[in-house]
Chain A
Amino acid sequence: MTAPIETDVVIVGAGPVGLFAVFELGLLDLKAHVIDILDRPGGQCTELYPEKPIYDIPGFPIVTGQGLVENLMEQIKPFHPTFHLSQQVESLTRLDDGRVQLTTDAEQAFIAKVVVIAAGGGSFQPKRPPVPGIEAYEGTSVFYAVRKMEAFRGEEIVIVGGGDSALDWTLNLQPIAKRVTLIHRRDDFRAAPHSVEQMRKLVAEGAMDLVIGQVTGLEGADGKLSAATVKLSDNSLTTIPATRLLPFFGLTMKLGPIANWGLNLHENLVPVDTEKFETSEAGIFAIGDINWYPGKLKLILSGFHEGALMAQAAKRIVAPGERIIFQYTTSSTNLQKKLGVV
């Protein structure tokens, strides 16, 4: 494990609300590190609806999810946030000096005076396909990502799905597998046409199999998979030898490790006060869709407001005793200097 990163603020979640928090904290000279499980900033906006219009962002009659995130990234540029992507915060503990230590699954530790949970609907995680008993094989025969290709050498690999992940891994693993079978519910693929073409060529050459159907059952014992049962489009069943199963069914949101951080929870949300948006733990704030308070609305604009008030409270923790002067970006040369516009 590398040395912990010491910082004023760690923001958990790089969705629109987490990103705007960087801005509000930055105006108060607080430096933020931002952690997200996805490989790019934007959260639900870029993951679920990048091309969909949003109509209720003040001042933007219409903006797409992607457009909003791009604007926010531009807006927070002067504050140089450091992003730590493709990693999930696993643990959060209070140190003796009152600061908080966070550790991610990439074995990166942070020590922060303030933690801002802006985790939206929770972390995006691979969707588990609804195949009875699949849990028993997870981590031994069933994987939702390929970490080490060697673990798949010489195996009978069944890949399920029709998107880029499914097709890419079909093509990458085919040369080292004993046999690769791609299963998709229809003979039409979302993946890049070039990958689909390559896959069809391998099928035509007899180098791999394509089965149109849905996996309904698994066979095996003691975590060792031996075969998958597939329902074909004519409703008949077939069995395909399988020692490895890679299902790619997209992502879903789960609260994840936040549940174990010792915070009070209210129906999987984090209760906060409406003055500072602080949780039951001092110095740990929650803003955006993840928090709860009477009257809460899960709107991006509410999350922006919450971030502004949270920043004031965060400043008091990081710089106790320092007077906070309320200023407008329109007129304050001090703020404009921070924004790099004067």
Chain B
Amino acid sequence: MPKITYIAFDGTPYEVEAPLGSTVMENAVKHMVPGIEAECGGACACATCHVYVDDAWTAVTGSPEPMEEDMLDFAYDVRPTSRLSCQLKVKPEYDGLVVRIPERQA
């Protein structure tokens, strides 16, 4: 099973095993990683599961679809590596993925 590391805003790393096909958001919620709110439950409708994909991994995660890009307008401190974690579906290539949690969700 792929391992994903979430780095909380205070620097604490959380390494979790993420089943294929689940989303990066779902695994954060399941393991109570602080800083992921996911208010809408994964509908790409709220921008409260915002993460920064580690620079080394952006090629693997690719870029957001237009709907996600629109929703990112509502997030706080959006950067080129910003993604909504509910839109990142775990694939075998994600093994080792590192994402950082922003200071706050919108």
Task: Return A216 CB to nearest CB of chain B, in Å.
Answer: 8
Contacting residue for B77 out of A48, A130, A161, A188, CB 8 A: A130
Per the 8 Å Cβ criterion, residues 223-272 of A in contact with B are: 249-250, 252-253
Contacts of A316 in B (CB 8 A): none
How distant is the Cα of A249 from the Cα of B70 in the complex, in angstroms? 11
The reply to whether B43 and A52 contact each other, CB–CB distance below 8 Å, is: yes
Contacting residue for B78 out of A127, A185, A253, CB 8 A: A185
Residue-wise interface mask of B (32-54) relative to A, using a CB-CB cutoff of 8 A (1 in contact, 0 not): 00000001100101110000000
Contacts of B45 in A (CB 8 A): 48-49, 52
Given A52-B43, A186-B69, A188-B69, are A249 and B106 neighbors across the interface (CB < 8 Å)? Answer: yes
B17 within 8 A of A: no
The reply to whether A49 and B73 contact each other, CB–CB distance below 8 Å, is: no
How distant is the Cα of A184 from the Cα of B69 in the complex, in angstroms? 13
Contacts of B47 in A (CB 8 A): 250
Given A190-B70, A249-B106, are A130 and B76 neighbors across the interface (CB < 8 Å)? Answer: yes
How distant is the Cα of A242 from the Cα of B38 in the complex, in angstroms? 33
The reply to whether A48 and B43 contact each other, CB–CB distance below 8 Å, is: yes
Task: Return B105 CB to nearest CB of chain A, in Å.
Answer: 9
How distant is the Cα of A167 from the Cα of B73 in the complex, in angstroms? 14
Given A49-B45, A130-B104, are A253 and B74 neighbors across the interface (CB < 8 Å)? Answer: no
A217 within 8 A of B: no
Contacting residue for A130 out of B39, B40, B70, B106, CB 8 A: B106
A214 within 8 A of B: yes
Contacts of B46 in A (CB 8 A): 48, 252
How distant is the Cα of A159 from the Cα of B51 in the complex, in angstroms? 26
The reply to whether A48 and B70 contact each other, CB–CB distance below 8 Å, is: no
The reply to whether B73 and A185 contact each other, CB–CB distance below 8 Å, is: yes
How distant is the Cα of A188 from the Cα of B70 in the complex, in angstroms? 9
A163 within 8 A of B: yes
How distant is the Cα of A184 from the Cα of B72 in the complex, in angstroms? 11
How distant is the Cα of A313 from the Cα of B78 in the complex, in angstroms? 50
Residue-wise interface mask of A (35-57) relative to B, using a CB-CB cutoff of 8 A (1 in contact, 0 not): 00000000010001100100000
Given contacts A49-B43, A163-B73, A250-B73, 9 further A-B contacts (CB under 8 A): A49-B40, A129-B76, A129-B106, A185-B72, A185-B78, A186-B69, A188-B69, A214-B77, A252-B106
3 nearest A-B residue pairs (beta carbon): A48-B45, A130-B76, A49-B43
